[in-house]
Amino acid sequence: MSSTVRVDRSLQFTGVASHKPNTEGPFQELKKHFKDHFTDDTLSTDRWATSVPGTSDSIAISEVAGGECLITTGTVDDDSCMMATAIIWNGSKNAVFEARITIDDVSGTGLFVGFSDAKSEANGKIAIGYPADSLDTEASMAVGFVIDADHATSSIMAAGVKADVDATPVDTAVDWADGETRDLRIEIDEDGQAVFYINGSVVAAIASVVTAATLLCGTIQAITRANDGANTVQVRRVDVWCDQT
């Protein structure tokens, strides 16, 4: 048997193999891999930088089936809160950010999910928003998904900003419904291009959207919109990868 087994898409264990230990020896990833499936008792401050500058907002582990991090936005309109990894990821190392997220009330919530050059923004802002049907980019360098209740529709937008210059956003033509869970994935490459996936399908690509060498954090940022009061976002898992250094 060859010492290298190549799999194009996925390796699936079925039948008896899916119900008992099915590997002998550890998997040793060459890629650097940050992951948090929120199964700990409390949110780790060693793994996450959090910012909750609004009124009665919070970011904390919620002990529900499987575990999650629950973001509760502030009670005042445009209160924002943020969680972020270390600033260590970049396109030069083919960084990938993926998160599984549920928005409970789309009509009162703004959300940015992706990469940014800052772990947090001032209250009332997120890295990239889409109020009044136009980009509001607080970050200097960022790329990710944006959904904003101050936008005319519930479409998920693909957006970015490079050295304070906004990229033309792409409407993915995917709407987010209340209580719906989606897998969001952004891949950035050595040319600074970003490819966006929703539930495993490509929905957008933006060329040269960030400077590939610039270090970024993986981040999820939520904001109260439409003067709707506190709302909740359930972050069920986060994975970030890059090539080894």
| Domain CATH for 186 | 2.60.120.200
| Residue 202 token pair | 């490509």
- The tens digit of pLDDT for each residue in 160-206 reads 999 999 999 999 999 999 999 999 999 999 999 999 999 999 999 99
Which pLDDT score, from 0 to 100, does residue 12 have?
A: 85
Number of domains in the chain: 1
| Residue 158 token pair | 């693909």
By DSSP bridging, strand 96-103 and strand 109-116 are unpaired
User: Tokens 């600074």 label which residue?
Assistant: 192
In a domain, 5, yes or no: no
In a domain, 154, yes or no: yes
In a domain, 14, yes or no: no
| pLDDT cut 70: percent of the chain above it | 99
Distances in whole angstroms, Cα of residue 238 to Cα of each of 47, 204, 220, 241: 11, 20, 10, 10
In a domain, 171, yes or no: yes
In a domain, 150, yes or no: yes
In this prediction the pTM is 0.95
What's the mean pLDDT when you consider all of the chain? Answer: 95
In a domain, 119, yes or no: yes
In a domain, 63, yes or no: yes
Grouping H, G, I as helix, E, B as strand and the rest as coil, residue 198 is strand
- The tens digit of pLDDT for each residue in 44-70 reads 999 999 999 999 999 999 999 999 999
What domain range includes position 143? 32-242
Maximum Cα–Cα distance for the chain, whole Å?
A: 63
Which pLDDT score, from 0 to 100, does residue 191 have?
A: 97
In a domain, 118, yes or no: yes
Grouping H, G, I as helix, E, B as strand and the rest as coil, residue 165 is strand
Burial class from Cβ neighbours inside 10 Å (0-12, 13-18, 19+) for residue 217 reads buried
- The tens digit of pLDDT for each residue in 128-165 reads 999 999 999 999 999 999 999 999 988 999 999 999 99
